[in-house]
């Protein structure tokens, strides 16, 4: 393993060594340098994790997916030294099966490893014009893919109050959803929302002073909720995970890193079902003795250690879970140890 990690491109990859450690056994089964193996990075971003893998395993081929064309441009530049071994595709990750078909990996069981590093990248947060960050005044956009038809401002200015309450409650777990939605509707009757600062001000006024002092920035949950609604993030994840797992060959591995509880809950449930069940992925019926089987590679969710949290604040929220696809007939071996975190 290399002593030093790859360069910093503004987004420092989280738990990069652990991801390499977890996926390498699946990627080196044919050859120690990864020759003949294919890794799908379903959330390529700035290519930080991808660069780690391509450096560590000089024979590995990588297919990188991202819905954000700006991220793909950055990754293409960063990964130029490995151009012969990579293919980058602009797609939502639930389009994974179609993307793989483009490269003749259409059949199930053709991929050795899959990595998901969910959420937004530091570049997306830092690029104020994208409107993801409550700390920067910017147009209320929040689209990861600029071709999406609906911005955060569109939602705020056109959805009825009940729909706004639902979004804030469901995707932000915001206990003051009703108060915030009510104030949004009253304010937009005079002046439609255009900027993040206007939304931050409304959230701030809607939350009682005592509650504003706890639980981080008062607008954090509202921004998360809108981002999830604009980008349909949870639906995309719900269908992407089974597709990714169905693409894995026997012995193949999947690692998923989530940074907020809604996404982690989906990962936890899909993985638990996969370990417990013999149901063929994607089929609504139980066929005993058939279908892919999985074992857990992690004890509950893994976290970053204190040193990484200090050097890379983004890592403080991470929850990493990993599975290995096992032989159809083998008994699943569950991770033992402490309960889930
Ligand atoms: C946390 S970043 C990945 C960072 C990357 N691992 C690195 O080290 O540079 C997540 C990326 O996933 C992308 N993304 C989020 N949701 C997506 C989806 N549904 N389909 C495809 N890409 C998505 C975002 O555009 C972003 O670039």
Residue 341 scores a pLDDT above 50: no
The residue with tokens 């987004």 is: 11
In this predicted model, which residue has the larger pLDDT, 106 or 80? Answer: 80
**Which residues lie closer than 8 Å to 68 by C-beta, 6 or more apart?**
124, 144, 145
How far apart, in whole angstroms, are the C-alpha atoms of residue 312 and residue 236?
27
Tell me what the mean pLDDT of segment 22-49 comes to.
97
How far apart, in whole angstroms, are the C-alpha atoms of residue 258 and residue 314?
11
Which atom of ligand 1 is nearest to 16's Cα? 8
**Which residues lie closer than 8 Å to 154 by C-beta, 6 or more apart?**
none
Residue nearest to atom 19 of ligand 1 (CA): 92
pLDDT of residue 277: 72
CATH of domain 16-117+236-325: 3.40.50.150
pLDDT of residue 336: 43
Give residue limits of the domains in the chain.
16-117+236-325, 127-231
Residue 3 banded pLDDT, cuts 50, 70, 90: very low
The residue with tokens 């729909």 is: 163
How far apart, in whole angstroms, are the C-alpha atoms of residue 304 and residue 234?
23
> pLDDT, tens digit, for every residue of 52-100?
999 999 999 999 999 999 999 999 999 999 999 999 999 999 999 999 9
- The verdict on whether residue 119 carries a ligand-binding annotation is no
127-231 to CATH, choices 1.10.3720.10, 1.10.150.170, 3.20.20.210, 3.30.470.20: 1.10.150.170
Angle (CA) 48-106-63 rounded to 5° is 10
Residue nearest to atom 3 of ligand 1 (CA): 45
CB 15 within 8 A of CB 304: yes
Residue nearest to atom 1 of ligand 1 (CA): 121
How far apart, in whole angstroms, are the C-alpha atoms of residue 197 and residue 203?
10
> pLDDT, tens digit, for every residue of 229-248?
999 999 999 999 999 999 99
- The verdict on whether residue 204 carries a ligand-binding annotation is no
Pocket of ligand 1, candidates 54, 66, 237: which has the most ligand atoms within 8 Å of its Cβ, to mutate?
66
The residue with tokens 């915030």 is: 180
- The verdict on whether residue 216 carries a ligand-binding annotation is no
> pLDDT, tens digit, for every residue of 201-219?
999 999 988 888 877 889 9
> pLDDT, tens digit, for every residue of 260-315?
999 999 999 999 989 987 555 555 444 455 556 899 999 999 999 999 999 999 99
> Which range has the worst mean pLDDT, 102-111, 172-181, 290-299?
102-111
In this predicted model, which residue has the larger pLDDT, 222 or 4? Answer: 222
- The verdict on whether residue 93 carries a ligand-binding annotation is yes
Residue 327 banded pLDDT, cuts 50, 70, 90: confident
Find residue 319's DSSP bridge partners.
258
pLDDT of residue 301: 97
* pTM for this model (two decimals): 0.89
Domains 16-117+236-325 and 127-231 share a fold: no
Find residue 141's DSSP bridge partners.
none
> pLDDT, tens digit, for every residue of 111-128?
999 999 999 888 887 776
Q: How far is the CA of 334 from the centre of ligand 1 (A)?
A: 29
Q: How far is the CA of 71 from the centre of ligand 1 (A)?
A: 8
pLDDT of residue 133: 84
pLDDT of residue 230: 96
- The verdict on whether residue 66 carries a ligand-binding annotation is yes
pLDDT of residue 337: 41
Residue nearest to atom 4 of ligand 1 (CA): 45
- Ligand 1 shell residues, CB under 6 Å: 11, 13, 43, 45-49, 65-68, 71, 92-93, 117, 119-121, 144, 233, 236
């Amino acid at each position: 393993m290399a002593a030093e990690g790859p360069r910093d491109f503004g987004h420092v990859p989280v738990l990069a060594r652990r991801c390499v450690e977890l996926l390498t056994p699946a990627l080196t089964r044919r050859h120690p340098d990864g020759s003949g193996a294919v890794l799908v990075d379903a959330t390529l971003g700035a290519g930080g994790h991808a660069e780690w893998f391509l450096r560590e395993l000089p024979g590995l081929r990588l297919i990188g997916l991202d819905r954000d064309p700006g991220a793909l441009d950055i990754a293409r530049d960063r990964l130029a030294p490995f151009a012969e071994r990579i293919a980058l595709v602009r797609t939502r990750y639930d389009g994974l099966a179609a993307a793989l078909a483009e490269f003749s990996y259409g059949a199930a069981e053709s991929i050795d490893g899959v990595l998901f590093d969910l959420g937004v990248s530091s570049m997306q947060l830092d690029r104020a014009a994208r409107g993801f960050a409550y700390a920067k005044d910017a147009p209320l956009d929040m689209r990861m893919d600029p071709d999406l038809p609906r911005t955060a401002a569109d939602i705020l200015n056109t959805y009825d109050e009940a729909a706004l309450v639902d979004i804030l409650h469901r995707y932000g777990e915001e206990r003051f959803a009703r108060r915030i939605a009510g104030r949004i509707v009253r304010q937009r009757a005079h002046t439609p929302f255009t900027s993040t600062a206007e939304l931050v001000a409304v959230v701030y006024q809607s939350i009682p002073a005592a509650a504003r002092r706890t639980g981080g920035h008062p607008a954090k949950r509202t921004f998360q909720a809108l981002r999830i609604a604009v980008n349909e993030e949870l639906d995309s994840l719900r269908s992407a995970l089974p597709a990714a797992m169905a693409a894995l060959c026997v012995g193949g591995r999947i690692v998923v890193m989530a940074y907020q509880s809604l996404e982690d809950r989906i990962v936890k449930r899909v993985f638990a079902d996969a370990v417990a069940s013999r149901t063929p992925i994607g089929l609504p019926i139980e066929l005993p003795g058939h279908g892919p089987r999985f074992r857990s590679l992690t004890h509950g969710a893994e976290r970053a250690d204190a040193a990484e949290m200090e050097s890379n604040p983004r890592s403080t929220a991470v929850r990493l879970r990993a599975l290995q696809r096992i032989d159809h007939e083998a008994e699943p071996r569950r991770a033992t140890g402490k309960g889930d975190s």
